[in-house]
Structure formats: C-alpha cells, structure tokens
Amino acid sequence: MLSPPTVWRSTVATTTFNTLTLARDLEAAGIANGQAGAIAAGIRDARADLVTKADIDAALAALEGRLEAKLANAVNRMLLGNVAVAGLLFAALKLFS
C-alpha cells in the first residue's frame, strides 16, 4: 500500500520531490505497489543527505572567516614578539654602551 504523499523540500534549494508521483509512475511501469513505495521512500531519504552548492559556499565562507581571524591573530603575535625583542635589544645596547 502507498504511503501518504510526501513532498521533500530542501532548506537551501527549491527542489521538490513527490514520492507518491514517483511510486505511481513505477507502478505504471510494472513494479509492484510495495516495491514502488519503498523505492520512492529510499530515493527521498537519499536526497535528504545531498549537499547543495549553496551549502558548500556557506561552509567555505565560514571557514575562510575563521582562517583569516587565526592568521590575523598569528601575525599580531609575531609583531608583538618582534617589538619585545627589539625592546630587549635596545635596552641591552643602552645598558652596555
């Protein structure tokens, strides 16, 4: 027996997938009712795990932001270290001259 109609909508993409229509098409092609419903449900479930280009773009943008922040932090720490070393060298020159 066919399950109630299911329309799958991605939260990112505007793709819809109607399992009832697919199951009916499969039955019309000669596939048994229960098998057609199971195939349609399997395809619906598999589509739920697909990643869209928008998902990838958002993940890359977040990663780029994190990397830029870490790089800026590393550069700032290096500059601060260089200033400290320069200060120590200047103090040593003053002390020994």
- Ranges of each domain in the chain: 7-48, 52-97
User: Could you tell me what percentage of the chain is helix, strand and coil, using 3-state DSSP and rounding each to the nearest 5?
Assistant: 70, 5, 20
Cβ atoms of 10 and 3 closer than 8 Å = no
Using CA atoms, how far apart are residues 1 and 54, in angstroms rounded to an integer?
37
Using CA atoms, how far apart are residues 23 and 30, in angstroms rounded to an integer?
11
User: How does pLDDT run across 16-65, given as a tens digit for each residue?
Assistant: 678 888 899 999 999 998 899 999 888 888 887 788 888 899 999 999 99
Amino acid at 1: M
Position 95 confidence tier, pLDDT thresholds 50, 70, 90: confident
Instruction: Report the pLDDT value the prediction gives residue 14, as an integer from 0 to 100.
Output: 46
User: How does pLDDT run across 60-77, given as a tens digit for each residue?
Assistant: 999 999 999 999 999 999
Instruction: Please determine, for residue 1, whether its predicted confidence score (pLDDT) is greater than 90.
Output: no
